[in-house]
Amino acid sequence: MEIILSSPRGFCAGVVRAIEIVELCLQKFRPPIYVKHEIVHNPYVVKALEEKGAITVDTVEEIPPNSTVVFSAHGSPPDDFQKAHDRNLRVIDATCPLVTRVHNEAIKYNSEGKRVILVGHRGHAEVNGTMGQAPMALVDDTGPAELPNWDSDTPVAILTQTTLSVDDTARAVSKIQNRFTDALVRNDLCYATTNRQEAVKKLAEQVDMVLVIGAQNSSNCNRLREVAERHGVPAYLVNSAEDLKDEWLADIMKVGITSGASTPEVLVDQVISKLKPNKISTLNVIEEDVTFVLPQEFRK
């Protein structure tokens, strides 16, 4: 069996930054450090940080007063900052700067009098954080788009969750533009999402099957699996080597591997070890050199 590794894959700059923020908090402020929502959507990463003294919680109300809390990379609504203030918490915000940019767009366009439409998945942590920034309507990128019942000449600003399918988003945005004549479109899909999907499309052309390594609750991992499948090959999302099934591999000569923006490379290495390939190569599609500065508290 041959393995072709997709590049880029794995950690994005926002995830690297968020994990580093929790580690720096553990060193600077000492455990326990609370983390509101999984710092990134990967159980391996969450467990590794919990073993060092991080405690993951779902809500601010679970955190004892006067503690230190890191808000996850997905972004948080202003309500959560207010609740943290009321409990006298020290908040370190690990929101990815590319998510913060969407928050700022929502506030700006709302203050300019536009109606904001967010394309995204209801209930996803990032969508909850963005929807708290300003009044807006949510349009799902996959189902039959239920558009707001506003006049067709209403000035609208279309924002998106950062980790959606590039193709589904384009379709949803096009439907909104057809409905509203005065629509301003922001391209909020982040570089990591776009690049990994572009790479997996090319990968799918060269292999018999694609494995996406990552968590079931990771939006960008699920989108990678869907993109690979739509490009004509069976594709499976696995958390780790333990999830591999023998029947998937029968008659498969070339396996393509990619991983989501929150997946550590060690999990990819474990899958490769289990598959015992005769040959491994890398399909380099796009070079990435993005980094983000740390929050003020940790800048030297």
Cβ at position 190, least distance to ligand SF4 in Å? 3
Closest by alpha carbon to 4, among 196, 251, 220, 200? 200
Enclosing H/E stretch for 209: strand 209-213
Is residue 146 annotated as part of the catalytic site, yes or no? Answer: no
Counting contacts by CB under 6 A, is residue 14 touching ligand SF4?
yes
Among 6, 76, 220, 263, binds ligand SF4 (CB under 6 A): 220
List the catalytic residue out of 38, 105, 126, 226: 126
Number of residue whose CB is nearest ligand SF4 = 14
Cβ at position 283, least distance to ligand SF4 in Å? 21
Residue 115 or 223: the one with the smaller Cβ distance to ligand SF4 is 223
Q: Which stretch binds ligand SF4 (CB under 6 A): 60-68, 92-100, 106-114, 224-232?
A: 92-100
* Residue 127 Cα distances to 93, 99, 117, 236, 258, angstroms: 17, 10, 12, 25, 25
With beta carbons less than 8 A apart as the criterion, state whether 261 and 219 touch: no
Burial label for 98, CB within 10 Å (0-12, 13-18, 19+), is buried
Q: Which stretch binds ligand SF4 (CB under 6 A): 2-10, 84-92, 94-102, 242-250?
A: 94-102
Binding mask 191-210 for ligand SF4 (x = CB under 6 A): -xx-----------------
Q: Which stretch binds ligand SF4 (CB under 6 A): 179-187, 189-197, 208-216, 221-229?
A: 189-197
With beta carbons less than 8 A apart as the criterion, state whether 283 and 5 touch: yes
Q: Which DSSP string corresponds to 71-112?
A: EPTT---HHHHHHHHHTTPEEEE---HHHHHHHHHHHHHHHT
Contacts of residue 135, Cβ cutoff 8 Å, sequence gap at least 6: 110, 116
With beta carbons less than 8 A apart as the criterion, state whether 103 and 130 touch: yes
Residue 8 or 256: the one with the smaller Cβ distance to ligand SF4 is 8
Counting contacts by CB under 6 A, is residue 162 touching ligand SF4?
yes
Among 3, 5, 15, 35, binds ligand SF4 (CB under 6 A): 15
Residue 12 or 204: the one with the smaller Cβ distance to ligand SF4 is 12
Counting contacts by CB under 6 A, is residue 259 touching ligand SF4?
no
* Backbone angle region of 62, left / alpha / beta, with phi > 0 → left and psi within -120 to 50 → alpha: alpha
Assign 47 to helix, strand or coil. helix
Cβ at position 189, least distance to ligand SF4 in Å? 8
Q: Which stretch binds ligand SF4 (CB under 6 A): 7-15, 86-94, 144-152, 240-248?
A: 7-15
Enclosing H/E stretch for 258: strand 254-259
Cβ at position 292, least distance to ligand SF4 in Å? 8
Closest by alpha carbon to 79, among 98, 217, 71? 71
With beta carbons less than 8 A apart as the criterion, state whether 162 and 98 touch: yes
Catalytic residues: 126
In the complex, the residues that contact ligand SF4 under the rule CB under 6 A are 12-15, 73, 96, 98-99, 162-163, 190, 192-193, 220, 261
